[in-house]
């Protein structure tokens, strides 16, 4: 059993990284081998629409043919037993690197055939983790929840049953006073980090363990 987790934040040791690691620890508690990939260490692009993954006679049918740092990760994901993808929300979306990963990971499996949805022949459970500045109420009222449901449904159709964990009002910097950011109360965020974030970590651990039933 092997679980791969993607940290889709450029910041190591921060919210997304911590939660993806907690989810991995949960998977490890069920006996899974684990691997964490820091996406921002890799040099890669999104889908380049070469169409090799759709070519009828060709060695790349159903598999991404672009060769860069992401290709070996896609190959390992193709073989893994559970997948965790963590991303901060940047301008109401996953980060650019996670979006590029999603293009490459999902487009290779999408078929344009009428009678078949995916080229992926197994079912692999997924956990999608998002961290963000907004509150849970705002997250729901400005359309983020629909976006997360969209990703959950696409992954479920193409790869396997996907679940979502959201972590809101994150602690964004160690010293709010240093920056132009009067919209946020740094003390409140720090208190939340000490009181609510541990609950999010526990949820991440439990959902990580839940990837294995």
Ligand X SMILES: Cc1cc2nc3c(=O)[nH]c(=O)nc-3n(C[C@H](O)[C@H](O)[C@H](O)COP(=O)(O)O)c2cc1C
Is 11 or 199 the residue whose CB approaches ligand X more closely? 11
Is 29 or 135 the residue whose CB approaches ligand X more closely? 135
Nearest-approach distance from CB 131 to ligand X, in angstroms:
3
Rounded to an integer, what distance in angstroms lies between the CA atom of residue 55 and that of residue 41? 31
Is 18 or 73 the residue whose CB approaches ligand X more closely? 18
Residue 160 near residue 122, CB atoms below 8 Å: yes
Nearest of 184, 154, 207 to residue 19 by alpha carbon? 207
Does 32 engage in binding with ligand X (CB under 6 A)?
A: no
Size of the site for ligand X (CB under 6 A): 17
Does 45 engage in binding with ligand X (CB under 6 A)?
A: no
Sole window of 7-15, 72-80, 105-113, 204-212 interacting with ligand X (rule: CB under 6 A): 7-15
Q: CA of 73: how far to CAs of 52, 112, 153, 158, 159, in Å?
A: 18, 24, 22, 18, 15
Of the residues 57, 91, 177, 183, which one makes contact with ligand X according to CB under 6 A: 91
Of the residues 23, 170, 176, 211, which one makes contact with ligand X according to CB under 6 A: 170
Pairing of the two strands 93-94 and 82-90: antiparallel
Residue 126 bridge partners (DSSP): 83, 162
Is 17 or 203 the residue whose CB approaches ligand X more closely? 17
Q: Which residues contact 91 (CB under 8 A, 6 or more apart)?
A: none
Nearest of 75, 89, 100, 174 to residue 129 by alpha carbon? 89
Sole window of 23-31, 68-76, 128-136, 185-193 interacting with ligand X (rule: CB under 6 A): 128-136
Residue 86 near residue 102, CB atoms below 8 Å: no
Rounded to an integer, what distance in angstroms lies between the CA atom of residue 136 and that of residue 142? 10
Does 134 engage in binding with ligand X (CB under 6 A)?
A: yes
Of the residues 40, 90, 119, 184, which one makes contact with ligand X according to CB under 6 A: 90
Nearest-approach distance from CB 47 to ligand X, in angstroms:
22
Is 133 or 164 the residue whose CB approaches ligand X more closely? 133
Radius of gyration of the chain (CA): 18
Does 189 engage in binding with ligand X (CB under 6 A)?
A: no
Interface with ligand X (CB under 6 A): 9, 11, 14-17, 88-92, 131-134, 170, 172
């Amino acid at each position: 059993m092997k679980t791969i987790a993607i940290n889709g934040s450029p910041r190591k040791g921060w919210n997304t990284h911590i939660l993806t690691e907690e989810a991995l620890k949960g998977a490890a508690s069920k006996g899974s081998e684990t691997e964490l990939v820091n996406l921002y260490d890799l040099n890669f692009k999104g889908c380049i629409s070469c169409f090799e993954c759709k070519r009828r006679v060709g060695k790349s049918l159903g598999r991404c043919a672009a060769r860069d740092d992401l290709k070996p990760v896609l190959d390992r994901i193709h073989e893994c037993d559970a997948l965790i993808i963590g991303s901060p929300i940047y301008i109401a979306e996953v980060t650019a690197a996670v979006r590029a990963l999603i293009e490459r990971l999902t487009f290779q499996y999408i078929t344009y055939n009428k009678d078949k949805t995916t080229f992926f022949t197994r079912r692999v459970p997924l956990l999608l983790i998002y961290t963000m500045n907004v509150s849970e109420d705002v997250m729901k009222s400005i359309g983020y929840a629909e976006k997360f449901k969209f990703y959950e449904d696409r992954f479920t159709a193409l790869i396997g049953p996907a679940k979502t964990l959201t972590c809101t009002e994150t602690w964004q910097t160690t010293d709010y006073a240093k920056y132009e950011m009067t919209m946020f109360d740094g003390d409140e965020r720090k208190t939340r980090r000490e009181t609510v974030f541990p609950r999010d970590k526990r949820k991440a651990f439990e959902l990580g363990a839940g990837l294995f039933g």
